Structures are given as structure tokens and as C-alpha cells.
A and B are shown apart, each in its own frame.
Chain A
């Protein structure tokens, strides 16, 4: 086997300038968690924990139906007036009582989904919420929705950020990847 060497005169031209600007990379991730169903909370929490694992400052702003997964699992009825109480009866809070947005079959769907998840070692929303807290993800409940739906701070799980409003959420969203789920 012969080895050929090619001698090349050094080129005079400088290497092409790529410019000083690096492609912009968002250092933040903000997710608006609006839906609250099992099949929406799951990707919400997977993306939030992964964002934190990638070193992004990550925030999840829980609003409307998205607030119910934050209710403590043992809290059954929330709200002060009959409408709010009825709402919590029809839509039980807690990350272990989430429904599917399709094929719910009165709870049989989520039961099967949770079974499959266990079989495939997929972390549950409950576990992912704990991981999110551990990794410093900001979990912000929407104050206005809490008032509207009759959810008090003590109805919600520990480890959340202070309830806040749309302005704080949008301020966080400046220059961030934003998702509305």
C-alpha cells in the first residue's frame, strides 16, 4: 500500500468569517399548562423537567384546568360556593386523578395508561412533578383562576412558587421557548 502525500502551499486567504453572532439559543422555557388532563400534563412535565436538565430556566404557569393537577391528592372537595364545589366534584383534583382527553371510558382509560406506563418504566406525572421541584422548575399557579375556581393555597401541593398573574408569566416568557399545552 502506498501512501501519497500532497504538499499544499499555505493559502493566503483567511478562513471565511462566520460573523460574531452565534445562532440564538433560548435559555428559558415557559409552558402555559392550561389543560390538566393526563395526556397533556404528561408531556408538560416531561418537557419541563427536560428543559431544566438542559440548563434552561424553566417555568410552568398553571392556569384554568391546569390547576387541578396541583390539588393535593387527598383533598376531595374544593371551593366555597356550590358552583365551585360542584366543579371539584365533577373534576377531581390531584396528579393521581387525571383523566384522558380521549378514550377516558369513565376512568378505565387512565387506569390502562398508568398500567402501561409502569410496565414501560415511564415516570408518572406525580413523580415528574417531584423531579421538577427538585430541579428548580418554577411552578406557578395562576392567582385569578384559583379565585375563580375556588382553589386555596392550602388545597394545592407544597413546593410551588407564589401564585401570580399573566404579567409575570409573560415577563418570564420574554426570550423564552413558549408552549401552551
Chain B
């Protein structure tokens, strides 16, 4: 699948605790155009269910949720209006 995965915004949320990773992500997502991608790196394990829930509640698809060396990476796509 040759879908372009250009990241429009990258957020470093490492070290932050609930609710700040979601707050900062929500703010940054506001700046994106529909279809653009945001990636976020976090270390709070609670952010894994929280990003999933935020994506579901707001309708912005979570296209990736992964972990590497204790750092979680999330990629969200800004929903089409």
C-alpha cells in the first residue's frame, strides 16, 4: 500500500502525566487540516488507552499505537469535516 505517511506535526509528550498528553494533542490537532497526520511520543502508560478513547470520542482515527523502549508512539489522522 503506497499511502504517504508524511507527518505534519510531531509532539514530544515524554514525561508528562494525565491529562497533559491529551490536552496538548487536542490543541495541536486543532491546527491541522483534514487528513493531515500528527505523531506523539509519550511515556505515560495511561496514554495508551487514553489516545484510543480520545480518537474514538472525537472521530479522529488513531492510525498507529506502538511502543519502543518504553516510549509510546501514536499517530492520529485529523478527521474529514
Contact = CB atoms under 8 A, between A and B. Distances in A.
A54 B18 contact: no
A131 B23 contact: yes
A50 interface: yes
A54 B22 CA distance: 9
B19 A54 contact: no
Q: What band does the interface of chain B fall in when counting residues whose beta carbon is under 8 Å from A?
A: 10 to 19
Q: Would you call the interface of chain A mostly helix, strand, loop, or mixed?
A: loop
A49 interface: yes
B78 to A, nearest CB: 13
28 contacts: A25-B57, A46-B18, A46-B19, A49-B19, A49-B23, A50-B23, A52-B26, A53-B19, A53-B23, A53-B54, A54-B26, A54-B54, A54-B57, A54-B58, A55-B26, A55-B58, A120-B17, A121-B15, A121-B17, A121-B20, A122-B17, A122-B18, A123-B17, A123-B19, A123-B20, A131-B23, A135-B23, A135-B26
